[in-house]
Amino acid sequence: MKSTRLSSILSSGFIACALAIGSLASTQSASAQTTTIAKVTIPFDFQAGKQSLPAGTYLVDSESPNLILLKGPGKASGFVLMHAASRSKAPDHGMLSFDRTGGQYYLRQIWTAGNSTGLECPKSHAEKAALVATNNEAVTSVELAFNSEPQK
């Protein structure tokens, strides 16, 4: 009698454990979805956050509302933590905006067509140091357009 009850308890526990693991596994895969924002060719080396990235064609993927993954040529890639930005008029086309200080380019903003809310990259320590080194000379902005949202 005891062994039957123990066997029943163990099999019920095993089934409950298997169901719990299955539901956790399916939840993880559902929440880890990536959205590709753009495919853009960047003709110059640049910095995004703390990373230096080479010129080339990049996929710009949104991993979460404020986390962007740039996947570039070869094994060049990097995550960039950004915050929300807004402008009074929505752009007609999607674009990446860069600041140029001295000879270095820094990723500044990402905008999608028809959306007045975009993403902005905070100034990195390297960019702040470059501004000090150039006596805060005027920063040049460079915008690279992308026409449509690629499908994944």
The encoded tokens of residue 16 equal: 């409950």
Sign of CA dihedral 142, 48, 146, 118: negative
* Sign of the dihedral defined by the CA atoms of residues 148, 63, 116, 82, in that order: negative
Q: Mean pLDDT across the chain, nearest whole number?
A: 81
pLDDT digits (tens, 9 = 90+) for 42-76: 999 999 988 999 999 999 999 999 999 999 999 99
pLDDT of res. 152: 47
pLDDT in tens, 82-141: 999 999 999 999 999 999 988 899 999 999 999 999 999 999 888 888 888 887 777 889
Whole-number percent of the chain with pLDDT over 90? 53
Give the model's confidence band at 4: pLDDT under 50 very low, under 70 low, under 90 confident, else very high: low
Mean per-residue pLDDT, 32-47: 90
Task: State the sign of the Cα–Cα–Cα–Cα dihedral 105, 123, 60, 139.
Answer: negative
String of DSSP letters for 115-145: -SEEEEPPPPHHHHHHHHHTTTPPPEEEEEE
- pLDDT reported for residue 77: 93
pLDDT value for 118: 95
Angle at 127 between CA 126 and CA 133, to 5 degrees: 90
Residue of 101, 100, 121, 124 whose CA lies nearest to 110: 121
Considering only residues 34 and 114, tell me which one the structure prediction assigns the higher pLDDT.
Answer: 114
For CA atoms 40, 42, 48, 50, give the dihedral sign. positive
Q: Token match 């853009």: residue?
A: 40
